[in-house]
Structure 1
Amino acid sequence: MAPRGRPTRTTRSRPVTTTPPPVTTTPPPVTDPTTTTSVTSAQLQAMINEGVTAALAARDTTRNGDDSHSSGVGIRRPVQVARECTYPDFLKCQPLNFKGTEGVVGLTRWFEKMESVFSISNCTTASQVKFATCTLQDDALTWWNAHVKTTTPEAAHAMPWATLKKKMTDKYCPRGEIKKIEAEMWNLKVKGTDVVAYNRRFQQLALMCARMFPEESDQIERYIGGLPDMILGSVKASKSKTMQEVIEFTTELMEDKTKAYVERLADNKRKAEDSARNNQIQQANKRQNTGRAYAAGNVDRGQYEGPRNIRNSKIYNF
């Protein structure tokens, strides 16, 4: 104990500074991929948003094929999906009926019209025969029903359109009639300058004589062979590659030739009329001049007072 009466001395303690131990960087522990890693809610939401965005982009790419349907500002336009053709849609295109008595030309026109309706109505391949056979009537309908009985309606309607065409051609195009049509095709020529009628008949026969022309060049050669000499050389020199090109060129060329011919005839007629009119005027002037000369001659003879022959005159003295 400190003696009483003397103040107690206090000693201030200095702060003790301690040196931290050196920080050593240790690699993160190797974790097993099968172990579960904790993910925060924000990270999980970001991952979900990223996945949804990628899925939407993949869907749009598959549906549209490119960015042509995008407005450029991130808003995608709705894509309209084509609706499958129904039988009422098919009938709205007004397909032809076929009875089986129209002959080769009627059957060919039925084929042509039916294929046009398929294209316009977007008729699927699976529905073509089913819809087309609904337009059969009378003998043709009886023939089709007999064919269906030999199989099933499902199998009959699953028949390809090309197969149905062949069956109907064999049924309603007798071999003798086909030969007549082929002979007409070989001898077909332009009558006068009527290229339009020639084009129409040639295309009709070409549909029925497909086996005559394995290549389109063969068909072009046969077409040119039926043209008149006035345009034959020019059409050959054009070297058209397709039937459509050669038909268009021939039609335009014949129109120009016909127009020039008509203008030349009109010009010759006008010249002939002018010449005849001039001849009439000249004849009228000639007759008028002749009449005037004749009238003038008569007047001169009446006014003539030349010397009289005194020797022949008698003098009477009273």
Structure 2
Amino acid sequence: MASKKRTTRASLATTTTTTTSVTNAQLKALIDQGIADALAAHDVDRSMNGDDSHNLGMGVRRQAPLARETVGHDVAYTMTWINLKNKMTDKYCLKGEIKKLEVEMWNLKVKESYKIEKYVGGLPDMIHGSVMATKPKTMQDAIEFATELIDKKISTFAECQAKNKRKFKDTSNNNQSQ
């Protein structure tokens, strides 16, 4: 292996470091040696335990680390919502639990649509068609829309009555003056 000296200049001091060039063949030999050392250490562990049971020699089973992908904040912020949701679901939700929640959600939707149908069916004819045309998804939507329509109808009815009252008053005043 050849040695070279490299000199770098700092603001006031001069620093000298020694570097060593490594050829590809030398690098491969170092890697092979590291692999051989690791395999030898593994063989020693196996021979100590007498088998390949992953025991640590004291009857305690060694736990293999789980292969999990950890996601940092930066990566999570750049992910799409669907991808992030799928990763979180895979990690924290069991398949059976998800299925149970889906069935429960379906039952809630069916019950909700039945309640909406019953509610809208009991509305007065003058607003029934209008509420049905909006196809409300929740009871809250149906109630709010029906209330809004009824308020408009009542205010329109009150205005008409006020006009008729004024007309009647004007007519009665004209009849009295004649």
Structure (1 or 2) with the greater strand fraction: 2
Structure with more contact order per residue of length (Cα contacts < 8 Å, sep ≥ 6)? 1
> Which TM-score bucket, shorter chain as reference?
0.3 to 0.5
TM-score by length of 1: 0.25
Q: Which TM-score applies when normalising by structure 2? A: 0.43
